[in-house]
Amino acid sequence: MRLLRDETRFVREDNEFSYSPLTTPIYQTSAYVMPEGAAFRYTREANPTVNQLNSVISNLENAGAAASFSSGMGAVTSVLLHRLRPGMTVLIHCDVFARTLKFLKDFMSLYGVKTTVAGPGTESLLHMYDGQDIVYVESISNPTLRVQDLRRIREEIKPKSILISDSTFATPVNLKTLDSGADIVIHSGSKFISGHNDVISGVVAGSKDDIKGLDDFRKTIGETLDPFAAYLMLRGIKTLHVRMKHSGESAMKIAYELNKMPGIAKVNFPGLQDHPDYRIASKMLKGYGSVISFSIDKNGPDPDAFMKRLKIITPANTLGGVNTTISHPATMSHRGFSLEERRIAGIDDSLFRLSIGLEDPEDIKEDIAASIQNVTHKRGR
């Protein structure tokens, strides 16, 4: 078959299941009749529904293979545990998902792994590079939305260093991470890939050899994705391209409006020309994504009061769904960071992370403006 374009690849499911169902069946079984089911044996090891998801992810990432895990952090920790040995070294930047950094600093250090933490951005990362065994980045960082120049990093680090990229915010729609220089790409499937806030999952893609070793490791530690969750992810992927296009266009409009809105001190969005990585993002990404972070004025509303006044946007410790959600990283996703760690990463008490869904962008903009004005007016009285 000729190579299909992305829009088509997201929607199609090429499978060889019995009786030719239109969608992948849910193989909700713990084991298989032997010897006919020898290819799967036991669902902790392999499952037809999960295998189909792996095939789809591998195709979308232009990878040799893919593996699925019971959560995004399950994917992150499995990759690192599989790769790292006592005495090895990791380079990571400070503005990443808090639990990723916590796992390396608080847990892997117990096994003799040394982690070096660089500042935000590609320049800071490369300045701290000293031949580390693994360079771990988020292609778009959570929650400050810095964009790492993957091609440049790959060119400047030694061939023996493994470049791992968490591309949850970019998704395979906006970035082919492996084509851009990474050796391994990780996604929290709970976010944009599933897209409906009803799945906890993680996926990893890379070369056939890398994924074979990782998947053998997964089978042993028991990091298994449930077949029903895999089914929901396959369903979500069918609309991923459409959702990312729509929410990305809305995010661009909302970011532009927030940049002019009274009460907003700063807006972080790679599609704005004043973003420090705008040039990199414009070159590397097909779209700027659907997440915005912004800071309210220091003398503005209290974070809790601001979120409680919102009528359309839902405060929640997640992102990537069809509905717009907002979080306060200092007390939610990055509550485990110390004050100094948050300061260095650019996560202060006034920062919010906004994940744009499928609503009309005007309603989202007006909801934020009304909340800021109402709370500020109330405090002023």
pLDDT surpasses 90 at 339? no
User: Would you state the pLDDT for residue 1?
Assistant: 59
pTM for the structure as a whole: 0.93
User: Would you state the pLDDT for residue 155?
Assistant: 97
Q: How confident is the model at residue 123 (pLDDT cuts 50, 70, 90)?
A: very high
Q: How confident is the model at residue 381 (pLDDT cuts 50, 70, 90)?
A: very low
Give the mean pLDDT of 106-113: 97
Domains 6-237 and 241-380 share a fold: no
Give the mean pLDDT of 75-82: 98
For residue 104 the two structure tokens come to 């390396």
**CATH 3.40.50.300, applies to 241-380:** no
Give the mean pLDDT of 83-88: 98
Q: Is 311 strand, coil or helix?
A: coil
User: Would you state the pLDDT for residue 205?
Assistant: 98
Amino acid type, 5: R
Give the mean pLDDT of 225-235: 97
User: Would you state the pLDDT for residue 325?
Assistant: 98
Q: What distance in Å separates the CA atoms of residue 57 and residue 44, rounded to the nearest whole number?
A: 19
State the residue for tokens 């990463």: 345
pLDDT surpasses 70 at 166? yes
Give the mean pLDDT of 171-196: 98
User: Would you state the pLDDT for residue 379?
Assistant: 47
Q: How confident is the model at residue 3 (pLDDT cuts 50, 70, 90)?
A: confident
Phi-psi region of 121 (alpha: psi -120 to 50; beta: other; left: phi over 0): left
Q: What is the mean pLDDT of the chain?
A: 94
Q: Where are the domains of the chain?
A: 6-237, 241-380
Distance in Å from the first CA to the final CA of the chain: 68
User: Which stretches of 142-222 are DSSP H helices?
Assistant: 150-156, 171-174, 208-221
pLDDT surpasses 60 at 375? no
- Topology of the domain comprising 6-237: Aspartate Aminotransferase; domain 2 (3.40.640)
- The answer to whether 92 and 141 have CB atoms below 8 angstroms apart is no
User: Would you state the pLDDT for residue 310?
Assistant: 96
State the residue for tokens 């972070």: 293
Maximal C-alpha separation, the chain? 76
pLDDT surpasses 70 at 94? yes
Q: What distance in Å separates the CA atoms of residue 238 and residue 251, rounded to the nearest whole number?
A: 21
Residues above pLDDT 70, as percent of the chain: 97
User: Would you state the pLDDT for residue 374?
Assistant: 72
Give the mean pLDDT of 363-371: 97
Top-confidence residue, 302 or 250: 250
Q: How confident is the model at residue 243 (pLDDT cuts 50, 70, 90)?
A: very high
User: Would you state the pLDDT for residue 15?
Assistant: 67
The beta-strand segments (E) located in 167-254 are 184-188, 202-206
User: Would you state the pLDDT for residue 380?
Assistant: 46
pLDDT surpasses 60 at 198? yes
Top-confidence residue, 331 or 77: 77
pLDDT surpasses 80 at 44? yes
Q: What distance in Å separates the CA atoms of residue 345 and residue 199, rounded to the nearest whole number?
A: 29
Give the mean pLDDT of 189-205: 97
pLDDT digits (tens, 9 = 90+) for 263-306: 999 999 999 999 999 999 999 999 999 999 999 997 767 889 99
pLDDT digits (tens, 9 = 90+) for 326-336: 999 998 888 88
